[in-house]
Structure 1
Amino acid sequence: MTDNSVHPGQGRAAWGPGTPVWTDLSTPDVAEAVRFYGALFGWTASEVPGGGGYTMFLLDGAPVAGAGPLHGLDEENEWCTYLLTDDVEETAHRVATAGGAVQKPPYDVMTQGRTAVFLDPSGAEFSAWEPREMAGAAVFNVPGALAWNELSTPDPVLAKRFYGDVFGWTASDGDYITWDSAGRPIGGLVPVDEPAPARWMVYFGVADCDASVAQATSLGATVAVKPTDIPWGRFATLNDPQGAFFSIFQG
């Protein structure tokens, strides 16, 4: 859906503010996540030394996503979208000024980068990533890699204002709204009716949507949205065996 196929550390000036560069899973069972996603996407896993159980998922040896254990009752079993920033403190200030909330203030992730966790005004959680040694994922838009990020929200007008104020994004018109940053589409926006919660959805590329759904269910997943054709390809939404939502996309 987007052309993020290069490593974000290469020519990162072309990547606009807020471009999704990483995703990770908070889960009650990292070992189960390694089993499930490894079988589904062909990922291998490498626990990060000194990372408190944080595990890197690799596709052909390249980092594509991560997973870590839940810490405390305030964390949810879900995939998180990380949005690129050059200054996470400034992003935190803009989030608060624009009506969002700072869930976790900026902090260092060892020597890899600096991050923070935010809630937008409708309650959708996202993180920011200020790169240091790690720019983000090394590959996008191939089977087994991050392919798209999409906000569903009951208040799209408020969302357009908030993300525009924080990251300078513009939103397209039409039946399906896309976010643009630095002239490139970097995500989508879908209105939902209350009481559906606001959330960021991650999409992983697959070669065959229907076959991947069948494989996922055989591995213990459940289907939230069955394989569906859209103008750009075919997608489905799943719950992994621990209940975390994610989507797959065949382009």
Structure 2
Amino acid sequence: MITTDFVPGSPCWLDLGAPDVDAAVAFYRAVFDWQPEAFGGDAANEGRHASGYTIFRLQGKAVGAVGPLSEDGARSAWTVYFHTPDAAAAAKAAQEAGGAVRVAPAQAGTNEGRFAQLTDPQGAEFAVWQPGEYPGVETADGPGALGWIELMTSDSAAAQRFYGALFGWTTQDMALPGGGGTYTLVTPQGYGEERMFGGIMGVPDMFGPGGPPGAKPYWHPVFGTADCDATVALVTSNGGGLTMGPEDAEGVGRLAVCTDPAGADFVVLTPAEAR
């Protein structure tokens, strides 16, 4: 599960790069009732920060953010940030482990924290966050909030080596039902299964010559919902799409893989224990 008690290597923030910030705000407000707040501004003021960066709040608590696409040729996507005590050291370690730095370590705001935008060796993009006055999301693991993350990659073993070198994650393999492959569960270094926060799925056929043109490995967020089917109906009625489901996953819950109107992937899940 994802918590707000952040430890090194755990997910702590996420933001969406969108071609139209106002359209993204309208969509996620309709689907999850997220309210926009200008970065560093007032929740009552729904205008955007001068940079376009806008915080999403659920019942007053930050659950993520959205900003304009800042890289040439980038597609709309969610970026997951992992907690680190030193963004510059993490960026250096990522390069030494075969990854790349897309955005060098930089200050966010006045003293909110420092971040770096990185890419793993298979091409999946992610980021690190060194907190200052802003630790990260203020609520997690509930309806409308981040509860899990997943890496869809062309090479699970290579990804595990990279993130293991960078964050020290421990992993545990589990076989998917019906011969669907192996799903690798991820836990921060030094913590038990109660802090397990995500999974890695090797799906080589999705990437490369046999997959869709331009497809590359990616991280996507899993948001909680009290009613998966009702949330999917909100997604599709507000211009989003449905890639898979809704369907029941034994021991997990009812889930669906969705896209927002700009094509950013996310998953909605009603956990088994909540049904």
Closer/same/farther in 2, CA of residues 55 and 223 from structure 1, 3 Å limit:
same
Superposed counterparts of 1:215-230, under 5 Å? 215-230=234-249
Unaligned runs of 5+ in 1: none
Q: Percent of aligned pairs with the same residue?
A: 40
Distance 1:165 1:131 in 2: 21
Select which of 211, 217, 221 maps to 1:198: 217
Shift of residue 71, structure 1, vs aligned partner: 2.2
Closer/same/farther in 2, CA of residues 57 and 3 from structure 1, 3 Å limit:
closer
Q: Which residue of 1 aligns with 2:252?
A: 232
Distance 2:127 2:71 in 1: 18
| Higher mean C-alpha displacement, 159-168 vs 224-233 | 224-233
Q: Which residue of 1 aligns with 2:94?
A: 95
Closer/same/farther in 2, CA of residues 21 and 155 from structure 1, 3 Å limit:
same
Aligned residues: 242
3-state SS of 1:18 partner:
coil
Distance 2:163 2:62 in 1: 27
Shift of residue 122, structure 1, vs aligned partner: 0.2
Scaled by the length of structure 2, the TM-score of the pair is 0.85
3-state SS of 2:70 partner:
coil
Shift of residue 76, structure 1, vs aligned partner: 2.6
Distance 1:250 1:26 in 2: 25
- What whole-Å deviation, never above 9, does each CA across 1:86-118 have from its counterpart, x for those lacking one? 001110111011111111110000121100011
Q: Which residue of 1 aligns with 2:64?
A: 65
Select which of 21, 36, 41 maps to 2:27: 36
Select which of 34, 38, 41 maps to 1:47: 38
3-state SS of 2:81 partner:
strand
Shift of residue 74, structure 1, vs aligned partner: 4.3
Distance 2:103 2:171 in 1: 27
Closer/same/farther in 2, CA of residues 72 and 156 from structure 1, 3 Å limit:
closer
3-state SS of 2:173 partner:
coil
3-state SS of 2:133 partner:
coil
- What whole-Å deviation, never above 9, does each CA across 1:138-163 have from its counterpart, x for those lacking one? 00011111111111111011011100
Scaled by the length of structure 1, the TM-score of the pair is 0.93
Q: Which residue of 1 aligns with 2:166?
A: 166
Q: Which residue of 2 aligns with 1:75?
A: 74
